[in-house]
Structures are given as structure tokens and as C-alpha cells.
Amino acid sequence: MSGALSGKRAVVTGGAQGIGRAIAERLAANGARVAVLDIDAGAAGGAAEALAGGGHIGLACDVSDSGSVDAAFAEIAGAFGGVDILVNNAGTGRGPDDGSDQMYAGAAERAAQIARGEAPTAHADQLIHMSDAGWRRVMGVNLDGMFHCARAAVRLMAAGGHGGGIVNIASTSAASGEGPLHYVTSKAGVVGLTRALARELATRGIRVNAVHPGPTDTPIMQSVPDTMVAAMEAAIPLGRMARPAEIAAAVAFLASEQASYATGSVLTVNGGSYMV
């Protein structure tokens, strides 16, 4: 697909590491100029500098803050003259006092009980330990952030009158329900946002799709206990987590003209795990 995105101007949120960085690398390798946005300003700049080709930029941006997003897109408009592709990738699985520790401890104990052949009695509670701030942080980054960035990008796409493409990174957890409560809920919201925007933006020539990665080997997994990661991997038919580049390949496809008739789609890339 080399050159498939020649002349395109792309924005990747959370592009400093993990899946976002792999997406930025893939889009740049395919010929796009890339704006890497990340809450970690230094890492965003470093990631942009390391991309193939020239003309990339790295900017500090907290996607949960609409003022920060609008300021970043104003800089992008100045540097690139517009936007053709937005990849809404920034996400988090943790907020302050969000009950994750209690939930993971209970889940690990349940798994151990089952492994010992005992009836599981340990509670993997998160809801009753969840603070308002913990809930808001994850919803603010994972769901509000995608709304803020889509709005800013589509204002530029609409002004340019040339259509565009948006790819939102959701998660298999949106369908399975497995994972932290706020995280699962936010990712289900991402699917709704994707489908609603696909309908709304079709007449503008803007396609909106989502990718459901399964467990992927990135720093975000460091917040998940090793025993749970091992259990996750054991349940994957292909026998391992995804590599970030394997998720990036799906994103590059949806962002390209090769996916010209795909909008409102959710592409699952999860090593064959059963999905409802």
C-alpha cells in the first residue's frame, strides 16, 4: 500500500506510543503527512520526528479538553492547510479512585478459585468503588475526546469541501463487556458515535469507521495484572496478543480509498476470539 495516502494530511491522537505510534508510522510510510497529538508533548514531538518522510508535526493536546483540541487543530490548519484523515486513538483504562485495583484483585482471585476447581465466590467489584472523577476521566478521554477531535476535524474537512476519513479506535470490550466498567462503557459509546457520524457525514463525503482491537502488546497493558494478561492470551485462537502494527494495518486500510464503500463499519482485529 506504499503511497496509497500520498498528499493526505492525517491527525493521529495518542500517537506518541503504542497503537497510535504504529498508526502514525504506517500512515507516514504510506505517504501521508502526520500530526501526532498526545498529552505527552515531548513524546509527541519525538514520535513525529522519527516518522518516515518529511513535514510531520507533534503537538501537545489533551483530547478530553475541547479548548486544547481546538488549539491543536488551529495549529494543524496553519501547518497543513486542512485535514483529510483523523484517527481517534487516544484512550485510557484508568482514572483516579476508579476501583480498578479492587476489580482486578477480585478477578484474579475468581480465576484462581476456578483453576483450583472451586466454585468462584470472589467479587470483581468496580462499581461500588468507582469515584465520580475516575468515571469522568475515562469517559472524558475515550468518548468526549473522540467527539472533540471529530468536531474539530470535520469543521476543517467541511471547509475544504474535499471529504475525508475518520477511524475511531474502539475495543472488543465494547462487545464482550470484559474490562473496566468505565472503559467498556466508553468504547460502546465510540461504536455509537461512529455509526451516527457515518450517517450524518456521508453527504459530505466523509467516511467514519471503527476498529475493534483485541488485546494488543502496548504499554496500556501494564495496568492489567500479569495473570489476567496470561489468561487473555490463552483464550485467543491465534495464541498471542496483537502487535500494534497489525492494528495499524487495519486503520490504514479504512483510511484509504481502498475502503471507499466502507462507512459505519466496525472492523474486528482480535486473533479470532469469539465475539457476540
- Encoded one letter per residue, x for contact with ligand NAD by CB under 6 A and - for no contact, window 81-110 reads --------xxxx------------------
Taking CB under 6 A as the criterion, the residue among 29, 169, 181, 208 binding ligand NAD is 169
- Encoded one letter per residue, x for contact with ligand NAD by CB under 6 A and - for no contact, window 224-263 reads ----------------------------------------
Asked if residue 157 lies in contact with residue 77, where contact means CB atoms within 8 angstroms, the answer is no
In whole angstroms, the minimum distance from the beta carbon of 260 to ligand NAD comes to 25
- Quick check: is 183 catalytic? yes
**How many whole angstroms separate alpha carbon 121 and alpha carbon 266?**
36
Of 9 and 182, CB closest to ligand NAD: 182
**How many whole angstroms separate alpha carbon 68 and alpha carbon 263?**
28
Cell reading at 192:
455509537
Neighbouring C-beta atoms of residue 87, cutoff 10 Å: 32
**How many whole angstroms separate alpha carbon 64 and alpha carbon 200?**
23
Cell reading at 232:
487473555
- Rule CB under 6 A: is residue 215 a binding residue for ligand NAD? yes
In whole angstroms, the minimum distance from the beta carbon of 251 to ligand NAD comes to 10
Question: How wide is the angle at C-alpha 252 spanned by C-alphas 251 and 255, nearest 5°?
Answer: 85
Which positions are annotated as active-site residues? 183
Would you tell me which residues interact with ligand NAD (CB under 6 A)?
13-14, 16-20, 38-40, 61-64, 89-92, 141, 145, 169, 171, 213, 215-216, 218-221
